[in-house]
């Protein structure tokens, strides 16, 4: 008898012999259970599906919108460059960039170009205003430091030497060391601080040679500035005022104010960030 009971229990616990409760329900009972489940979970399921579809559709729409806006900004910027190169009216593309794409990289680039145009006209105050706006709008990095460096040059032209030095102190991006040091030397020279000017010019020469771009940055001209200080050193105490008026920076050619482009690329060609020559300081007659 015990053997028969064991066989019965074995058949009872055999997984192959198990059947779920659903197997014993009628079609009507299964339909009723499904109906109750839907009443409890159907709404949340539908909402989840709608949200998932909405997220996918919304993301695709957003990406398409961004791509379309980027194309519009690029077209407006290209139109501005063409009009500027042809000396035509830039009012329409600038209006689009200033209003529709304020704060964009394209906007900052147009501000740099416009500032270069004002420098060419010797309108230093307007150039400074444009460059300060570019500094405010640009993100931290090389583009903002280009704007800061150019603002420092304009401040130097305006004899706002302390402000120029303050701007130079904020330029931190790699690759600007020689430019910053050279302009710092000009500022120190204008102040009559020949020792610091000499150190700054030497630092500019060393930085340019270390970067391997000494030809581009005009190391020979930096050496000329340094040599002029060395020659003038014995007369510093007697002729300090005269030495300020005859700053070596006065003889430097500003690429944004000439047409030959030897000191730097024409600001009408290519990326405005590339045009980074040191400004020519005004003589007493021009002031």
Sign of CA dihedral 151, 153, 158, 159: positive
Which one has a higher pLDDT value, 40 or 111? 111
CA distance linking residue 1 with residue 241, whole number of Å = 127
Q: What is the pLDDT of residues 36-88, one digit of tens each?
A: 777 777 777 777 877 888 778 777 876 776 788 888 999 999 999 999 999 89
134: nearest Cα among 170, 103, 156: 103
Closest by Cα among 260, 136, 238 to 192: 238
Residues 6+ apart with CB under 8 A from 76: 93, 96, 97, 100, 101, 106
pTM assigned to the model: 0.66
The length of the chain in residues reads 287
Average pLDDT estimate for 268-286: 45
pLDDT tens, position by position, 135-192: 999 998 999 999 999 999 999 999 999 999 999 999 999 989 999 999 999 999 999 9
The span from the CA of 96 to the CA of 66, in Å, is 16
Cβ-contact 145, 169 below 8 angstroms = no
Q: CB–CB of 248/224 below 8 Å?
A: yes
Cα separation, 285 vs 287, in Å, equals 5
The more confidently predicted of residues 269 and 194 is: 194
* Contacting residues for 252 by C-beta, under 8 A, at least 6 apart: 221, 263, 278, 279, 280, 281
User: Residues 6 or more apart from 191 whose CB is under 8 A from it?
Assistant: 161, 244
What is the rounded CA–CA span in Å between residue 105 and residue 284? Answer: 37
What Cα–Cα distance (Å) separates residue 275 from each residue in 6, 104, 264? 96, 20, 6
Say whether pLDDT at 95 is over 90: yes
């Amino acid at each position: 008898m015990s053997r028969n009971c064991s066989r019965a229990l074995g058949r009872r616990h055999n997984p192959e012999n198990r059947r779920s409760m659903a197997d014993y329900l009628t079609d009507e009972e299964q339909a009723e259970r499904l109906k109750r489940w839907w009443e409890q979970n159907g709404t949340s399921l539908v909402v989840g599906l709608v949200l998932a579809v909405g997220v996918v559709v919304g993301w695709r729409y957003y990406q398409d919108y961004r791509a379309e806006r980027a194309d519009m900004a690029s077209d407006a910027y290209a139109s501005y460059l063409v009009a500027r190169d042809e000396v035509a009216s830039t009012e329409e593309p600038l209006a689009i960039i200033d209003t529709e794409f304020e704060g964009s990289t394209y906007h900052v680039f147009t501000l740099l170009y416009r500032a270069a145009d004002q420098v060419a006209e010797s309108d230093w105050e307007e150039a400074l205003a444009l460059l300060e706006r570019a500094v405010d709008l640009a993100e931290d990095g090389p583009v903002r430091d280009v704007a800061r460096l150019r603002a420092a040059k304009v401040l130097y032209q305006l004899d706002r030497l302390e402000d120029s030095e303050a701007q130079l102190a904020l330029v931190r991006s790699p690759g600007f060391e020689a430019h910053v040091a050279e302009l710092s030397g000009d500022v120190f020279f204008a102040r009559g601080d020949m020792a610091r000017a000499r150190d700054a010019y030497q630092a500019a020469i060393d930085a340019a040679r270390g970067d391997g771009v000494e030809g581009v940055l005009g190391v020979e001209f930096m050496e000329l500035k340094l040599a002029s200080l060395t020659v003038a050193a014995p007369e510093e105490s007697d002729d300090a005022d005269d030495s300020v008026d005859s700053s070596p920076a006065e003889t430097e050619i500003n690429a944004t104010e000439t047409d030959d482009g030897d000191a730097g690329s024409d600001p009408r060609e290519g990326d405005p960030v590339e045009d980074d020559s040191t400004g020519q300081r005004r003589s007493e007659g021009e002031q």
